[in-house]
Structure 1
Amino acid sequence: MSAPSNSAAATRRRPAVDPYIVALCCTVALAGLFPATGTAAAAVSHASDAAIVLLFFLYGARLSTREAVDGLRQWKLHLVVVAGTFVLFPLLGLAARGLVPYVLTEQLYTGLLFLCVIPSTIQSSIAFTSAARGDVAAAICAGTYSSLIGLAATPLLAAWLLGSAVDFSAAGLLTICTRLLAPFLAGQLVRRWIGPALARHKKVLGVLDRSSILLVVYTAFSKGMAEGIWHQVTPVRLLALLGVEAVLLAVALGATATAGRRLGFGRAERVAIVFCGSKKSLATGLPMAAVLFGPRAGPMILPLMLFHQMQLIVCAVIAGRWSGAAPVTAPGVRGVRGPTVEPPFPTA
């Protein structure tokens, strides 16, 4: 799959609302109006579990180990991105604890803290880095490393910071291994045989990825309806959550920009650091939430869904402005045009 075009105009034409977020909201509404119950609930739950296994199998099958190893030359940049994703964000999440119960409910705070421990995005980080004339190759590798580290770091950080909210018993560990790690490793093992076929059918796989995640969301909110989720999350609380997340995103953007500048990175590398180090992956976070929280996942994923839409809007504006301010360079110069690769993870 070719790296996104370096066009600020294309970024500015990005719709104000991500169509996938609309689909997610419709799925939540469907679960609210027609939640799965009884036998249907059991069937939907099994289908959701199977979808998560399939997602992580495909993640592994699409990851190119060679490209990941080649990107280690920029290890300092990747270290900054990983620090932003798995150190800065969790610290900010812990600092938000003081907002409970005055601004956030206990459940919304748990969801916010979970948001802070999931990995960064890949495809949207690449798109914004490319539009802003940043180092696309670095963005590809940084997003990939973040996702790989997140397979282990996210469950461990969630268990450490969220405590009893996460099932980290022997049975819980077995669930994490069988639904997340084992399918991913299996995908890596068979990549040499099925990788080319997956690359040829990337559009079909994109639909499959997103449809699977919609099924996970429907299952989570169907279970949430049985627990009276909407009696616990009021419109006022949601507005408060949006305000908290706006501050969280602003601090992350400012911190990554400052770190890139203070550490002496070039402009193209700083762009990649900002877009990779300040964003969170909806595609990876939602299935992980379903595994880690089980039937309580509904309210836990609300902060992630809201943050995802917010980061797309804000980063689209920033990328457009940075593109206009970028120096004109000759074709082929590093940071203006990236390599032709197939990102291993979904687009969200």
Structure 2
Amino acid sequence: MHKLTDYLLAIRTNGSPPAPAGVKTVMLVPAEGDDVISSTIGGLRASGLTAADFRSRAIFLAPDGPGGLVAYAALCGFAGRRVDAYADGAVLEFSRLDRDGAAFPDAGLPPEFLTWAQVGGPEADGIPTVHLGSGGQELVTPEAATVIRYAARLRMVPPDSARDALAMFLLVAALRRRADDRFPFLSTGTEPVPLVKNAPDQGIDLEKLRQEAVRFRRALRIARRGAEIVPPVPVSPHNTRIAEANTVDVEAVLRRLGSTAGEEGMWHCPRPRGHSNGDENPSVRTYRDNRARCHRCDAEKVGPLRLAVDVLGVTPDEAASFILDSDRVVDLHRG
């Protein structure tokens, strides 16, 4: 379980708690305007965030209540993945969640096309309304999964707790996911009753917001490709050593870290304390791009240097020495 101080980047919005000392902070504050989606994307532009920021450990500091869901949905779209969150005093490691909600069985296709449905909140007039359980096997009943999964438009009424609202949002998004994400509408508590088909005021369209955030990320990448080419800066000996360490075969580094190969190309994680069974069943996969990933410990694929940093709890310089200098291996292990 990560602590808040384990993160390198914290994203805040209005009402968010402060970040710990030493953690880089970025503010995502909606721009002025009546349209929630446009103002949120405007705030994302003004924040200065780039896709590269999410290569490091990033966390969203949620304000009290469900109001932070709008900024969080935009971050997920921009990052292209789930982002960890801090809510109600707890770190929520959402980046390790499986985005595929197919594991939840449903009751089959509904007999009629569901134009609208609602999850959470009081019964809505004229549309199916379902609820989620508080945990265990009945977290999502097959009947509720059918409504959430197949409704063309789904309005979500979140609970009052920021932590519960974030968990509900990610579960609903996973259930609705097909080839790509399909975020729900977020209830503002002011929707008209009874429902008017295709009415524009049926909540905040988080899926439209997600798509706008994805387009913004792509636009940034296109702009970078067209940037002016400047003369290269000579690489310092220090950075050359770091880069050299990162080219060492990742499987060789795994062996140095005490890992052993299992079946079907998998490796035992060199961080067994992070696994309930000491990683008795290998959970690390290596890739052709010389990176590896433990499906429990790593939010993304990591190279040899970062792997050594994470496992040994050392600086990049010390990790490079561990990888390149056999004389330093014993010293660093004794730490």
TM over 0.5: no
Which structure exhibits the higher relative contact order, with contacts defined as CA atoms closer than 8 Å and separated by 6 or more residues?
1
Instruction: Indicate the structure with greater helix content.
Output: 1
Instruction: Indicate the structure with greater strand content.
Output: 2
| TM-score normalised according to structure 2 size | 0.28
